[in-house]
Copies of this chain bind each other. A is one copy, B any other.
Amino acid sequence: MRHTVSGEDYREDAGRTLREIRIFGIKYDGNIKKGDNLARITIESLGKEGIKVEEGDIVTLTHVAVSKSIGCTIGFKQVKPSPLAVALADRVRKPPEEVEIILRKSREVVRLVGSRIITRTKSGIVCANSGVDVSNVDGGLSMAFHPRNPDRVAKKIRRQFLNEGVNVGVIITDSFDRPFRMGQVNMAIGCSGIAPIRDLRGSRDLYGYVLRFKRIAVVDELAAASELVTGSSSEGIIGSLIKGYKYDFSETGVKSILRPRKKDLFL
């Protein structure tokens, strides 16, 4: 089932037919606690700046904000590290409690490199340290970890928005290291209400040539775009509102774009 959400894809004012996308940071000065309604927080925070969340917009939220709102955090003091975690901690120069949570949240350890433990998370994402974060949680006392099923959490947040009367696509993001390239890039770990891929195979280019391979991972591009406004760490920006991007409705989720190892082109 696909339908196109209108958004404000084309600016018709001033005679323009030009596509324009606008991205706003969602600034929240409070400390997100378990049980907080992120849809309400988003709508209220943007409302204070005069920005309205509208049908067809996309809301991206950082995984730390989301994890805090659903209780996917744990204090260092609550963790009893296993002997394996203790042994590894020295090698990767991390507290044993952090290593313990990294291991618990992983399905498999893919590699050990320097201070990074590359794992496949329970939800199937290959990344450093299972996406366990100490930054932006509570100053170093606790860790935030990925929900076990981020697509389901995105769906829950999308329902919160529907309850507030607005139909949006929701993307949960985290920034990851990548093979081949230095520097982290923000990617989608879960999504709801938006098709993760825009499939252009079979469509024609400007000269009539039929595209054979073009399938754009739009949720990852939207996630990357959102970090341009969430970027730094100290500003309390928990995500972004993206206006003007026309997308297809889908509930297939980010899970559908995680490449099975056997089909991986590069490995």
| A residues whose Cβ falls under 8 Å from a Cβ of B | 14, 16-25, 27, 49-51, 110-111, 113-114, 116, 118, 125-126, 128, 134-140, 175, 177-187, 196-198, 200, 203-209, 211, 213-218, 220-222, 224-225, 227-229, 231-237, 245, 256-259, 264-267
Q: Are A49 and B16 in contact (CB under 8 A)?
A: yes
Number of copies: 2
Chain B CB count within 10 A is highest, among A177, A215, A265, for A265
* Cβ contact of A231, chosen from B14, B22, B25, B216, cutoff 8 A: B216
A264, B207: Cβ atoms closer than 8 Å: no
Question: Given A214-B184, A227-B216, do A179 and B221 touch, yes or no (CB 8 Å)?
Answer: no
B136 lies within 8 A of A207 (CB) = yes
**Which of B22, B179, B216 contacts A185 (CB under 8 A)?**
B216
Assess A232 versus B203: contact at CB under 8 Å? Given A49-B16, A179-B259. Answer: yes
Contact across chains for B182 and A259 when beta carbons are under 8 A apart: yes
Decide: B258 and A180 in contact? CB cutoff 8 A.
yes
Complex: A16 Cα to B126 Cα, angstroms: 39
Chain B residues contacting A186 (CB-CB under 8 Å) are 216, 221
